[in-house]
């Protein structure tokens, strides 16, 4: 295990301790969140009863393999006394104000929806994800395929040259919602709130990877 993996595991282990019997959980996506799902599965095998709302198909497959009950967002029971008690996920970068960039795994849309529906949001990371200023990690923007070229041109006008995300075989990456991901290397993002507002106004943008005002607590390994 690399030192970075050890930190991810340590952060995930601390997050698992926050889980109580009977909770409905938001299950994140990515290498650090995968540690959480694995360790949560061990507690489930020991008798813990929880339900999980996965933020990606990959996480759903892992959770089921670990024995965790998986439910859809429509089964949570919003407005009927239900809800997501706790969302645990990783980040690609996060600053001192708990403003984060997410979406390296291509699940930013579902991740943001699940986080928005949770009573408490705790994100976990290794120490390398802590930054002074966001932007070193290219900002993912999820776009409907029809509008990819149009949106890319509009984003270029905001100060970067977006790159269409590709799979390892060179084919175009598609999210679980069959959308395109544009990775946007803005460099230092001095005003994340303004950039988030500008991106949200572009027709064809489904969601961006700036997670602002959503994180209740960060746990670093």
Annotated catalytic residue 111: yes
- Residue 160 structural domain: 139-207
CATH of the domain at 48: 3.40.50.1360
Per-residue CA distances from 211 to 20, 68, 153, 198 (Å):
26, 27, 23, 14
Q: Are residues 170 and 91 in the same domain?
A: no
Q: Are residues 173 and 92 in the same domain?
A: no
Exactly one of 57, 69, 75, 111 is catalytic; name it.
111
Q: Are residues 85 and 144 in the same domain?
A: no
Which pLDDT score, from 0 to 100, does residue 78 have? Answer: 83
Which pLDDT score, from 0 to 100, does residue 166 have? Answer: 98
Per-residue CA distances from 169 to 149, 165, 172, 173 (Å):
21, 12, 9, 10
pLDDT block averages, 10 residues each, the chain of length 221: 96 98 97 98 98 98 98 88 92 98 97 97 97 97 98 97 97 98 97 98 98 98 94
CATH of the domain at 201: 3.30.70.260
The pair of three-digit structure tokens given for residue 61, joined into one six-digit string: 């497959």
Q: Are residues 53 and 121 in the same domain?
A: yes
Q: Are residues 189 and 149 in the same domain?
A: yes
Alpha-carbon span 185 to 163, nearest angstrom? 8
Which pLDDT score, from 0 to 100, does residue 18 have? Answer: 98
Which pLDDT score, from 0 to 100, does residue 82 have? Answer: 77
The pair of three-digit structure tokens given for residue 133, joined into one six-digit string: 């200023």
Structurally, the chain folds into a number of domains equal to 2
């Amino acid at each position: 295990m690399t030192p970075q993996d050890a930190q991810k595991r340590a952060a995930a282990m601390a997050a698992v301790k926050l889980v109580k019997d009977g909770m409905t959980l938001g299950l994140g996506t990515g290498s650090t969140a995968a540690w959480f799902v694995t360790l949560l599965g061990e507690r489930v095998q020991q008798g813990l009863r929880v339900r999980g709302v996965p933020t990606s198909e990959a996480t759903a497959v892992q959770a089921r393999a670990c024995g965790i009950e998986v439910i859809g967002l429509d089964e949570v029971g919003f407005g009927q006394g239900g809800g997501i008690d706790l969302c645990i996920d990783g980040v690609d970068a996060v600053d001192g104000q708990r403003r984060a960039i997410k979406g390296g795994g291509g699940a930013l849309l579902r991740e943001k929806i699940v986080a928005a529906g949770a009573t408490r949001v705790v994100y976990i990371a290794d120490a390398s994800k802590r930054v002074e200023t966001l932007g070193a990690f290219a900002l993912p923007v999820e776009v409907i395929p029809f509008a990819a070229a149009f949106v890319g041109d509009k984003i270029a006008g905001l100060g970067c040259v977006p790159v269409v995300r590709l799979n390892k075989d060179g084919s175009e990456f598609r999210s679980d919602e069959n959308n395109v991901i544009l990775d946007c290397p803005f460099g230092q993002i001095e005003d994340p709130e303004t950039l988030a507002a500008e991106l949200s106004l572009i027709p064809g943008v489904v969601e961006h990877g700036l997670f602002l005002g959503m994180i209740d607590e960060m746990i670093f390994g």
